Amino acid sequence: MKKAVFLDRDGVLNEELGYQVTSMDEFKIKEGVAEGLMRLKKSGFTLIVVTNQSGIAKGTYDDAFVMDCHQRLQAVSQNVLDDIYFAPGYDSVSKSLSRKPGSLMFERAIAKHNVDITNSWMIGDRESDMIPAKKVGLKTIQITPETPSPLADSASANLREAVKLIVGKS
């Protein structure tokens, strides 16, 4: 079994701008993300992005744009991300089952990558990231400048600090 780190995208890997990013010019990777991802990979973690992308269902952008953003993350981090799961829906039951705070994206990734949940983590910026992670048994770190959710095991100001916590406990 493999240890893994599940990562929310918006607000963790790239800047949360308060609106849906629709162009590559607006997709700004946060400082220290590439180095943090590479450090996690060197520490033996499988890296899996799990992200809600309701803009697809809303018609704001398409699957290809989500993958273009993912490829930019891969390019700056020497292709260390192992997989991406995204939930395009937000209004119908069949499309929203994968959407966080649901846990279907996590369950699929755990099965596909043979993840050892007892040695794995979720890094997210919202309580809706913590809920499915706790449901499947992951340890959680919330990226937040404010008071974290009570569901977060730890809190960090950014990915770099979260990586230090994880690598220090591995």
Determine the angle formed by the axes of helices 63-76 and 33-42, rounding to 10 degrees: 70
Q: Is residue 117 part of a domain?
A: yes
Q: How many domains does the chain have?
A: 1
Residues classed as catalytic: 8, 10
Give residue 94's domain range.
7-169
Whether residue 21 is contained in a domain is answered as yes
66 CB neighbour count, 10 Å cutoff: 19
Q: What is the pLDDT of residue 111?
A: 98
User: Does residue 2 lie in a domain region?
Assistant: no
Question: What percentage of the chain's residues is helix, strand, coil (to nearest 5)?
Answer: 40, 20, 40
pLDDT-wise least confident of 11-15, 50-54, 116-120? 50-54
Residue 1 lies in a domain: no
Mean pLDDT, residues 23-37: 97
Query: The domain that contains 160 carries what CATH number?
Result: 3.40.50.1000
Q: What is the DSSP string of 73-112?
A: HHHHTTT---EEEEE--SSSHHHHSSSTTS-HHHHHHHHH
Q: What is the pLDDT of residues 61-84, one digit of tens each?
A: 999 999 999 999 999 999 999 999
pTM here?
A: 0.94
Q: Is residue 80 part of a domain?
A: yes
Confidence tier at 19 by pLDDT (50, 70, 90):
confident
